[in-house]
Structure formats: structure tokens, C-alpha cells
């Protein structure tokens, strides 16, 4: 009996030691990304203007880093909160922890160099070496043209400073350790010419991270291979209701295979019509997580390029139930 207890004790001790070694290895080895580059980005009018266009209408950085008013359809940004951060994403919304969108006005990023901001946006690693939860789709931004990222940095540096102290995010166990292994160095791609509509549309699709929202995920939050753009990803509202993304493949029955270019562009541009007013939405009623008003500001030829690229996407039948009310 004593021998069995001794063996069990040694086994448990060895197991605990291995776990501690593993934890220490992850803590001291990851994330594995390069040091922040030495950068000084000039806030020229052209850079700030291009960055404003990208951050407000393509990558929609300010969508998450502001406060959205979900008492109105599609949750437009509340005046005075642009870039101030503070929105909370927690377990009630299906996240493995409590995560906060940071203040990205000059007040919130004053301790970041331009190079550290570039690394943060493209790898998800802070200036303290901490990995971010990929709620911000940094793996997509890491494939963008470096000049576009520079423009975004120039723009957020030009925002009106807002005093808003945002709490630190905290991931649940074991996600807090897994997070350290996710960041990788970006692989920036040169932005295609607009005349090459398919390639340029593909570039914009990546910058807007359309695939991230319009693809179902497995139980670990990983995109299901072979289901890209077929919709059905769930987004939980705090009231318990669930909205699901649409199928944007070329399936004619459940996707947008029958949509004309004019229909596609018009779907976005209707939100800029002076006669259109965002309807009020009561708790428990259908709302959209997609920031339609922000995407509506995208240039028509950019929307057309996205449409042209989506025409090359294979049709995937997937009938999406768009909304489930709270129980």
C-alpha cells in the first residue's frame, strides 16, 4: 500500500512539475513576434485623410473603440465617444473572459511609439509584450499594405483627446495562456491597383475582416474550413438575443448569388440617404451588429470591387436564421 502511495505521490509531483515548466515556458517564450520597428509617421493631410477613411469606413477601428448606441438600428456611435474605448465584451456575449476596447485617442495611446502601435495593430502584442484577445482582427490587419497601417496610425494620432480610463482585459483560464501562443508577425501585402478589381476587392475584404464575421466558427471560436463567407456566426446581445451573420457567398437560394452590383452597393448606400432615419430598437427586438452607417461611407468603387471579388467566391448553401429573441 505504501509503495502505491509513493508511486502516486511521485506521479502527481512529476505532473505538477511538468505543468509548472509548461506554464513557465509559455510565459517566457511567447508571444513570438519581432520587436517593434523604429518608425516616425508624419501626420500629413493625405495620411490623416486616408487613415480617416480606412478607420471609419473600411477597417472600422472606431466602431469597437467608441460607444455604440444599440437603442438604434445597427448601433451608431454615440456623439463624443469617438475612439474613447470602454465598451465591454464578456461571458454574457460568449467571450472567454472580460475584454475592453481601449482608448485610442491621443490620451489613451500617449505611451506608444509609432512602431509600437504598428506592432500592436498587426500582431496583437502591446508595448508591454502582452497578447491581445483577437477580438480586434489583427491577423487580417497584418496582411494589409504597411502604408495603409501608417495612415491609420496618423489618423488616430489626430483624434480629439478624450480622458477615459479603461480597465485591463482579463481572459479566463486556460485562454489566458493560449492567447500568448496566437500572435505572429504580420505578412504585409502591397495594395493592388484599383483597376484590378478582383485583387483590390480581395484586399478590401481582408482589411474589413468580412470573413471573420461572415463565417461560422467551431466551439473554440475557430473559423470552420470550407465555410468561408457562408454566414451563421452568432453574436450574443446582453439581453440574451442572438443575431447571426448573413451568407454572402454566391449561393442563389441562401446567399447573394442573385444580387446585382447595383443592389449590393445600394444596400450600403441607403444608410446615407438624407430621407433615411435609423429606427429605434427596443431590447429583445432584432438589431444588427454590423455597423451599416460606417460602411455606408465606403467609396462606391470600393464597394463595387468587393462585389466583384465576392462573385468569385464559391456558392455555399447555408440557410441562416438571422435572429433568435431572448428566452
What are the angstrom distances between the C-alpha of 167 and each of 90, 101, 161? Answer: 13, 9, 18
How many other β-carbons are positioned within 10 Å of the β-carbon of residue 131?
21
What per-residue confidence (pLDDT) applies to 239?
A: 87
**Helix axis angle, 300-310 to 261-269, nearest 10°:** 130
**Residue 240: C-alpha distances to residues 71, 91, 120, 237, 286 (Å):** 15, 11, 32, 6, 12
DSSP codes, 145-195: -HHHHHHHHHHHHTSPP-----PPPEEPTTHHHHGGGS-------PPPPTT
Under 8 Å between Cβ of 288 and 327 = no
Q: Which runs of E-coded beta strand occur in the chain?
A: 88-89, 97-100, 170-171, 234-236, 242-244, 323-324
Mean pLDDT per 10-residue section of the chain, whose length is 327 residues: 60 52 46 93 98 98 95 96 94 90 97 98 96 94 98 98 95 92 96 98 98 92 94 92 97 98 97 93 94 97 98 97 92
Global pTM? Answer: 0.91
pLDDT in the model for residue 10 = 58
pLDDT at 12: 56
Q: Give the H/E segment covering residue 141.
A: helix 138-141
Round the average pLDDT of the chain to a whole number and report it.
92
pLDDT value for 24: 46
Return d(Cα 200, Cα 209) in angstroms, integer.
Answer: 14
* Residue extents of the structural domains in the chain: 1-30, 34-191, 192-327
- Please give the Cα distance from 286 to 232 (Å, whole number): 15
pLDDT, one tens digit per residue, over 13-41 is 555 544 444 444 444 454 889 999 999 99
Give the bridge partners for 12, in sequence order. none
Q: Where are the alpha helices (DSSP H) in 30-113?
A: 45-57, 61-64
- Number of neighbouring beta carbons within 10 Å of residue 113: 16
Q: Which residues pair with 88 in a beta bridge?
A: 100
With CA atoms as reference, report the closest residue to 145 among 38, 52, 54.
54
Task: Name every residue whose Cβ is closer than 8 Å to that of residue 309 and which is 6 or more positions away in sequence.
Answer: 197, 198, 200, 201, 202, 204, 205
Amino acid at each position: 500500500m505504501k509503495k502505491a502511495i509513493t508511486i502516486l505521490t511521485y506521479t502527481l509531483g512529476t505532473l505538477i512539475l511538468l505543468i509548472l515548466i509548461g506554464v513557465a515556458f509559455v510565459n517566457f517564450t511567447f508571444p513570438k513576434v519581432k520587436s517593434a520597428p523604429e518608425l516616425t509617421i508624419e501626420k500629413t493631410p493625405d495620411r490623416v485623410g486616408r487613415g480617416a477613411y480606412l478607420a471609419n469606413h473600411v477597417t472600422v477601428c472606431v466602431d469597437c473603440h467608441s460607444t455604440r448606441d444599440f437603442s438604434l438600428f445597427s448601433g451608431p456611435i454615440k456623439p463624443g465617444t469617438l475612439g474613447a474605448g470602454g465598451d465591454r465584451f464578456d461571458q454574457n456575449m460568449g467571450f472567454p473572459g472580460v475584454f475592453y476596447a481601449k482608448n485610442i485617442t491621443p490620451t489613451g495611446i500617449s505611451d506608444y511609439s509609432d512602431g509600437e502601435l504598428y506592432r500592436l495593430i498587426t500582431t496583437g502584442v502591446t508595448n508591454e509584450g502582452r497578447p491581445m484577445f483577437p477580438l480586434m482582427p489583427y491577423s487580417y490587419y497584418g496582411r494589409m499594405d504597411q502604408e495603409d497601417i501608417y495612415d491609420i496610425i496618423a489618423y488616430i494620432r489626430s483624434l480629439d483627446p478624450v480622458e477615459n480610463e479603461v480597465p485591463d482585459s482579463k481572459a479566463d483560464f486556460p485562454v489566458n495562456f493560449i492567447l500568448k501562443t496566437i500572435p505572429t508577425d504580420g505578412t504585409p501585402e502591397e495594395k493592388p491597383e484599383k483597376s484590378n478589381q478582383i485583387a483590390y476587392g480581395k484586399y478590401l475584404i481582408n482589411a474589413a475582416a468580412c470573413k471573420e464575421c461572415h463565417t461560422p466558427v467551431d466551439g473554440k471560436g475557430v473559423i470552420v474550413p470550407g465555410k468561408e463567407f457562408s454566414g451563421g456566426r452568432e453574436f450574443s446581445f446582453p439581453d440574451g438575443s442572438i443575431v447571426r451573420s448573413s451568407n454572402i457567398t454566391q449561393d442563389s437560394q441562401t446567399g447573394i448569388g442573385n444580387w446585382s452590383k447595383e443592389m449590393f452597393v445600394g444596400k450600403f448606400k441607403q444608410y446615407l440617404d438624407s430621407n433615411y432615419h435609423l429606427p429605434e430598437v427596443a431590447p429583445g427586438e432584432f438589431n444588427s451588429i454590423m455597423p451599416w452607417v460606417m460602411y455606408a461611407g465606403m467609396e462606391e468603387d470600393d464597394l463595387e470591387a468587393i462585389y466583384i471579388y465576392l462573385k468569385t467566391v464559391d456558392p455555399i448553401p447555408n440557410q441562416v436564421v438571422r435572429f433568435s429573441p431572448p428566452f
